[in-house]
Amino acid sequence: MENNCLFCRIVAGEIAAEIIYSDERSVAFRDINPQAPTHVLVVPREHIESLDDATQKDEALLGHLLRVAARVANEMGHSESGYRAVINTGAGAGQSVFHLHVHMLGGRALEWPPG
Ligand code: 5GP
Ligand code: ZN
């Protein structure tokens, strides 16, 4: 765990979050500044800075994070209306917390392309 990493501290239970789902590899919790009626972040328990820092050994973990995002979306009732899973990578793409996370957004119509 990285002590100065916000999401490591949420995973460790040191900072409160509304946890939606957790398992041995991942934790999903509500975004504090939701951009849609449902806005959940799915993070690995392990600290990985960004998608760009994931390596071949992380392939199964990356797939797991996407499957958790889908499972949470389905459980929250978004499978028919649709939802979006997004990974912002690098500050220029809007990444502000440097612990890999999948945004899962649902509950409203989503525009394409994103801003
Ligand atoms: P990024 O901009 O890195 O793709 O996404 C980071 C997300 O983390 C943002 O959507 C932001 O609202 C969310 N966030 C920042 N601080 C906290 C926090 O303390 N708790 C929770 N639950 N979400 C946070
Ligand atoms: Zn971290």
Give the pLDDT confidence of 35-90 residue by residue, as tens digits. Answer: 999 999 999 999 999 999 999 999 999 999 999 999 999 999 999 999 999 999 99
- Check residue 5 and give its pLDDT: 98
Ligand 1 atom 19: the closest Cα is on which residue? 32
The residue whose C-alpha atom lies closest to atom 17 belonging to ligand 1 is 32
**Which residues does 39 contact at the CB level (< 8 Å), separation at least 6?**
30, 31, 103, 104, 105
Residue nearest to atom 20 of ligand 1 (CA): 32
Would you state the pLDDT for residue 51? 98
Cα of 81 vs centre of ligand 1, distance in Å, is 24
Section 89-97 average pLDDT = 98
The answer on pLDDT for 102 being more than 90 is yes
Q: What is the C-alpha to C-alpha distance for residues 31 and 40, in angstroms, rounded to an integer?
A: 5
- φ/ψ of 8, rounded to 5, equals -60, -40
**6-106 homologous superfamily:** HIT-like (3.30.428.10)
User: Exposure string (b/e) for 67-77, b if CB count within 10 Å is 16 or more?
Assistant: ebbbbbbeebe
Residue length of the chain = 115
Annotated active-site residue 101? The verdict is: yes
What would the pLDDT profile of 29-43 be if each residue is shown by its tens digit?
A: 999 999 999 999 999
The pTM assigned to this predicted structure is 0.98
For residues 21-33, give the mean pLDDT.
98
Closest atom, ligand 1, to C-alpha of 18? 22
Which whole number is the average pLDDT over 110-114? 95
Question: According to the model, what pLDDT value does residue 115 have?
Answer: 82
